[in-house]
Structures are given as C-alpha cells and as structure tokens.
Structure 1
Amino acid sequence: MLLRMSPRAAALLMLCVQQLHASALLAVSSYEFTAYRMQQYAVQQEKHGCRGAIVQAEARSADEPVLTRRCVIMKLPDFTVERYLEALRQSAAAVLLLLPRNMSAVPQEIIQSFMVSESEALLKDTIMPVYVTPEDEQLLYMYEEVKHAAASRTSSILVRVFRSMVTATVFQILVSNTNPIKPITDNTIITLEGVLPGAGEDVPTIVITAHYDSYGLTPWLSYGADSNGSGVTILLELVRLFQKLYSKPHSQPPYHLLFSLTGGGKYNFLGTKRFIEENMDHAETSLLHDNVAFVLCLDTLANGDDMFLHVSRPPKPGTPQHAFVQQLEQVVSSRF
C-alpha cells in the first residue's frame, strides 16, 4: 500500500529586533509565508520522509556549532548530506530550505549536490520537520541576518560585543497545524493507454511507455521537466507522427503500437506494475500476451545532448531490438 501525507502548511516568521542606543527599543513584527513539508510516505510498510510538522523554534544558520532545538535555515548550496545529517544528529527542531526562484541560474554542480542530498533525506524516516519554500526578499533578509550572527559568534570578543550593542536580532519560526496529519489511503494511480492497430492478423506489438510523475522533497514544487516531462512530451509527439503513418492503409506497418502513460513511476514503477498485472489478468484480449516484439521506455531525455539506451542484454542480430539500435545509430551519426 502507498500512503502519502498532505504536504502544505502556513509558516509564520516572527522577527524580534532589539536596538540599543540611549534606551532599549523593542520592535516585533511577523511575516506569513507558505512552506511545503517534505513528503512522507510508506511503501509496503517501509516508511520514508519526515513525520513531524509543528515547528516553534529560533532560526539559526547551518554554520552554527549548536543546532539543538533550532530551526536550521539553508539555501540550496547549504543543503548537503553532511549538514542534513548533522542537523539530525543534534536533534534540530526543523530544517527550512529556501529554494531559488530561478533554478536555471543555479550552477549545475550545486544542482547535482542537492539531488544527492535530496535522495539521502528521502531515504530516512525522521520526526524532524523539513520544509521547503521559494525565496523572497523577507526570507533572504532573515537568511543573511542569521548567517551574519553565526559569523559574529566565531569572531573576536570585541566584534561580538560591538555587534550585540548595535543590534540583537532573533527570528522565530512558527508552523502550526490545526488539521491532524492523516495518511491519504485512497491513492488512485491512473494509466492512459492508446493503440494504433497494425496491418494483418496476430501481428506483434511494440510498446512505447513513459511515466508522468515528478518526485522530490516536496511534490508540489517538483515539476519534473526532465524526469519525466521529457519522456511524456516525446511519447505524445510519437503518437502524433505515427498516427499519420497508421491512418493510411498503404503505409500501415505490420505491428500494433501500444502507447502507455503510467503513474507511480517514482514509487518503484507501481503504475507500470499494475498495468502489466491488469493485462495479464485479461490475457485473452491483451496485446501484451505472448506477442510483444519489444518495449521502449522513455525517461529523462532532456538532460543534455547525449542519449543513452539501457538494455538488459545486448540485442541479437535479426531481432526488432537490434534493428531499432541500428536505425538509432544511423540517425544519430547522420545528424550529429
């Protein structure tokens, strides 16, 4: 069974600034923003993600030596495996990750490092809440302030005293949840299927499939342009092109073309598994029974200029798989 938890919450940033000149002046303000909780799910009794949701803690930089019962504020470059594990080890109250508005401007090495840390975080089951929110002016101001505060604590005593005399800033992160966290148990995985029938009787079937899911720390912020929006886009384009070929009797190939868009791809291809099981349960009417020439899965096709073809074993000459590889190599060599 696949269980998921509702990921969205409203967070409140409370700013307490004490400025000391001739007398003490206390200013208190608050700023509300939307944060998205790291996904929490269980697949076959194995739990992943964070179980915690409520936060009431002082904001601190990841550079601080003491993070216990603090909400650790990180930007994308700060969110490394080491720092995340350190927050867990010190029993931090929460982690708040500020996501850049323009991800295309982020250097690729930072993106790759974040993806590694993201995968590591999702493998673990933790009570520590992890929230993600897009950057804005107020949150970036808070980040810089707690960053400077962490730096001042490692500086000389004279600098620390001077800074504390000028201003002492404390940021409190408050996430309240009036609705109880309940599992979403009525998960429905939808598979879209279409067939272009081939010419002749009992002709073999070629299956072209892609999953349409995206995956990340927070599903609501995971758009999946490459994985797997690219696979879905190319599958739909292939449907459009082959439909023209199959619509004319003189150009109709002796192969059925079965197109399948499946869900649950990021949960161990759960939708694909159910799609196969459904076809096996109705073998007498299924195009997948006994006569499948080969299956082509489209995934992550927009990540650079290179194209990779993964096979379980090298295709033998004379098979449709071998012919496909040869044709693909010819097209690549003629165009690039």
Structure 2
Amino acid sequence: MPNPSKRKLAQRENLERARSAIPGSVDNVLKQNEEVQKLLSEEKKRVVDLEKRIDVYKTELHRYETCLKNAEEKLSMEIRDHNCTKLALKTCQEKKVASEISYEAQISELQNRCNQLLLESPARGKVLKKYEDISSPHTKNRRCERIVEEMGKFVGEDSLDAFGKDFALFLSKSSRFSFRLSMTVESVLVQIGCDPRAHYQQMNGNQTQALLKPVNIDKVLRVFEPHRDMSLMRRLMNVIGSLMSSSNNSVKSNQEILEMKENLDDLKNVLRLLHPTMSVLPKLHILSAHLIDFVVLNGTWGRTSEQGMESFHALFNQLTKQYASVHNLEHRTFLILRHLMHYNDMTDCSN
C-alpha cells in the first residue's frame, strides 16, 4: 500500500478532527439556538412592554396636547378679556374725564342759575328791611312790584288780572287781615263814567254805550257773587251792546246784516232763558220780528235806529210845547201826528 502524501494526511487529520468536533458544535448550536430563542422571547416581551409604554406615552401625549390646547384657548381668552378690560378701562377713563367736564359745566350752570334766582327773588339775595320800617313810598311800590312779578310767574301773565281780583277778595274776606274790599255797582259806574249826574234824569245813550262795552261789562259783573246766570247776563249785555253799535243810519253790508240777525237770535234765546215768563214788549217784537226784513229791504236801519228815535223824542217834545195851547187832548195829538207825517213825507226819499 503506497504511503499517503502529507497533504492527504493533513486532510485526513482535519477530517477526523472535524468529525470529532461536529457533536460539540451541534450542541453549541443548539445551546446558542436556545439562548437566541430565549433572548428573542425576552426581546418580544420587551417589545410588548415598549408598545404598551408607547401607548401610554401616546395617551399621555394626547392628554398633554389637549391640556396644552385648552391652556392656549384659556390664555387666548384671558388675553382677549385683558384687552377688553383694558379697552373698558380706557373708555371709563374717557367717560370720567367727559363726566368731570360735564359736571364742571353743570356746576357752573347751577351757580349761574342760583345767581340769577337770587337776582330774580324779591329780596335779591339780601335781607330785606321789615315792611313796617319802610318809610319811602318808592321802596314800598318797588316791593309791591316785585311781589306782582312773582305772582305773574306763579299764575301766568294771562291769568294775573283774574288772580289779582280773587286774591283781593280773599284778603277782604279773610279774618287774618284787616283789609276790606268795598266794591259796589255805584263805584264801578263812577269808574267807567256812567254814574248818575244832576243834569241827567237817567242814563243817557252815551253812558249806556259805555256800559255795554265788553271790558266794562266784566267790571260790572265782577261786583256780584258768582251765579249760574252770570254767563247769560254777560252774553245778554254783549248782544245788546253789539246791536246798539249797529243801530245807526249807515248802509249795511250782507255780512253786517247776517251778524245783526245772529245777534237778534241770540238775544231772543238768552231772554227766554233768563225770563221765561216775561211778556214780549212791542219794541222787542218790532226789533226781533221786523228789523231784519226792514234792513234787507232798505239796506239801512235809517231813522228807526237809536239816534233817529232819539231825535224824534226831541221833535216830539218841541211839538208838545208848540201845541200846548190846544186844550183838547185828542185834537192836540192829531196835530202832532199830522206834523210828524208831513215831516216824514218831506224826508222820505223812497218815492
């Protein structure tokens, strides 16, 4: 048998060595495999733990993100509230400044008003001397004028006259004052120039016309105590005064005739209310029933007016004296009427 070469011997040795080493290597591999499996199992557990921790961390992160978002929103709201508060504070400061300016203006206005009221007051803001210590008529008159001014402010200038009358009556009737107001019809007639005179047998036409002026009617009626018929009396006197003013020989317009008719209707209505049982006098019948027709026909009241009738009175008195020598009353009356008829025929221009 030939001797193997060194190379082959080496290969055989290596092969034998490898064969002897294989069982140990397999065991090592198995051990290593077990260790790897064990490590792999541990690593899996660690991975699972890590995943759980990651989930926990994610949950925590989400919670922190939510908290952060809420904190940001809260911070934003606080910033907005702070800005609003800052703006409101600025507005309040501006209002405060404006209010202070307004208050100063109001204070100044009130001070001026107080000064004005002091000047307008009867005392002018001073301590007045007692009235009984005043000796100067001018000072007394001035103080009375101040009181009248205050009364005018209290009741109004339009009502001052009526209030003055009522106030005077109140003072006259009050037991606290010694002042007494003695106003009579006679004193009012003297005041308006309608008092009886020695050379007048009765009130003449001018006095009657003055009495029937609206202002004088009020003066006369104020003398009497208030009565339910007072307004009717004023109405009656005003109507008679208006008719008396129309009683002349001027040419009447349609408007004037209409006013006369309205006055006559008002006169009849008032007389029916004031004197429902009074009989109708002939002159009142002629006035109320025939005057308007006469004026419409002739355009004027003419000689039948107040002044015309007054002139006939003078003519009648003259004729009475002229025919005084005729003792027969019927014959004297006939002569007077014939004279008047002739006079009327001469002055009548209708034919």
Q: TM class, shorter-chain normalised?
A: under 0.3
Structure of higher RCO (CA pairs closer than 8 Å, 6+ residues apart): 1
TM-score, length-scaled by structure 2:
0.19
TM-score, length-scaled by structure 1:
0.20
Flag the structure with higher strand content.
1
Flag the structure with higher helix content.
2
The structure with the largest alpha-carbon Rg is 2
